[in-house]
Amino acid sequence: MKRHSRQRDAVRNALCSVKSHPTASAVYDMVRAEFPNISLATVYRNLSEMYDEGNAVMLTTVSGSVHFDADTSPHSHLYCNKCGGVTDVYPDLPDLRKAAEDKGYEVTNYSLMYSGVCENCRK
């Protein structure tokens, strides 16, 4: 049975209240304002929990950093190689590159990774 905890609520609220696609340690910093003693492990535990429940998306940047997003609706992301920031883009695939450029990004690269289960593994 799942129980309540102030720390869990704080982590969830922190992620839900923000559009910035924070990393785990960015969430840690947000939550520490209210809970100076919270542990980074607790933040990780609760973020993974949200992910497991399907209430958060985990995105791995081209540079390898992992960000969290409470917006689970299908959309894509723009990553800045310089500041490391992540921004949303909503249009459908064919229009995506244009949408990125409309957002002022100088698009130098992209990485598209479909995932699922391959033919072999489905057997």
Give me the residues that bind a second copy (CB under 8 A), please: 59-62, 64, 66, 76-83, 85, 87, 89, 93-94, 96-97, 100, 103-122
- Per CB under 7 A, 66 contacts DNA: yes
- Per CB under 7 A, 48 contacts DNA: yes
- Give the three-class secondary structure for 86: strand
- Give the three-class secondary structure for 97: helix
Binding region for DNA (CB under 7 A) out of 5-13, 86-94, 101-109, 112-120: 5-13
What does the alpha-carbon distance between residue 27 and residue 67 come to, in Å, rounded to a whole number? 10
Binding region for DNA (CB under 7 A) out of 45-53, 69-77, 85-93, 100-108: 45-53
End-to-end CA gap in the chain: 35
